[in-house]
Structure 1
Amino acid sequence: MAEVKVSHFRGRQFGGAAGAYGNTTSLAFHLRTTAQGAAANSNSAAALAVDDVVDLGGLPAGFRMDDALVVISSGLTAEVTGSLGFKYEDGENDALVPQDAAYFGAGLDLATAARLRNASSKALVTLPKPARLILTIAGAANAKAGQIDIVIQGELTGAR
């Protein structure tokens, strides 16, 4: 199992401002794959394989995760599915908010162009410490170019 990290520009959020704008924040993450099936702009040139964990980027401490939108504008290879969730940057679990690789859903069809909403009925959680948004590949290896954009919506409540 490989861990693939996708590089992102940090200026991808608006929110957390005091006053009239409130604390609602949308964090955008992008996964584009090359014609060979590898994650573009990442630390790996290998095609995404079953059980690979794609690190899409950071989720801040104190972020209450309300919803997820997965926009598959160009699907991956047929049969590719995935789970969308989070893990903590320090690798240590939290007793009240455990890491969950499928927090936003499991068995997501990543091969077909679609807009997928949060596919989970799990209770809302507020991250007690910095975490990473992760996509775990399942079903089949990817062997083609594709594009998946993910928006995580929530509220910045501040670190504990």
Structure 2
Amino acid sequence: MATIKKKSIGEQQFGGAIPFGNVTVYRSTLETGATGGALNADSATALAVNDVVMLDTLPQGMMLSDAQIIVSTAMTASVTGSLGFKYVDGVDSTEVPQDAAYFGSSLALNATGRLRCSTSKVPVKLAKEAYLTLTITGAANAKASRLDVIVQGERMGPK
């Protein structure tokens, strides 16, 4: 299992002058090249089963409410994924545990479409800064693709 980190994490964010009380949307794009590897990332190796792609960062104190994935160019047949979060410092929290499938699992990345959050988990307020993660499942990717991941929430501020 490899961990792939997109370059330019956090550059899509605008504003942030008020760290609490803001309904906000974070958007991240994952594009893969002809061989299936993530473009604009620290690894160009084809995405394999159990690879974790860190798409962007979500701020401490963000109340997570919804997510969707727009698959405009599908991945290889049988590729699915899980969308969740992992703390940047690598240390889990007992208050709000990391969850690789918080927004959904077995999400069909092998067909074009708009995938909505598929879980009924309670909204959580992130205990600390976290990566938005996509874990590849089902099969390895071996083709060019494009996914736009959109996360909605409210910036509540730390604690």
TM-score range, shorter chain: over 0.9
1:148 aligns with 2:131: no
8 Å Cα contact 1:32-1:145 kept in structure 2: yes
Identity %: 52
Gaps of 5+ in 2: none
Q: What's 1:7 paired with? A: 7
1:139 Cα offset (Å): 0.7
8 Å Cα contact 1:14-1:25 kept in structure 2: no
8 Å Cα contact 1:31-1:147 kept in structure 2: yes
Distance 2:24 2:8 in 1: 17
Distance 1:32 1:38 in 2: 8
Distance 2:48 2:17 in 1: 40
Q: Which runs of 4+ in 1 moved over 6 A?
A: none
Using structure 2 for the length normalisation, give the TM-score: 0.94
Distance 1:15 1:130 in 2: 17
1:7 Cα offset (Å): 1.5
Gaps of 5+ in 1: none
Using structure 1 for the length normalisation, give the TM-score: 0.93
How many residues get paired? 157
Deviations 1:105-153 (A, max 9, x none): 0000001000011111000000010000111101111000000000100
1:120 aligns with 2:110: no
Which secondary structure does the structure 1 equivalent of 2:148 belong to? strand
1:92 Cα offset (Å): 1.1
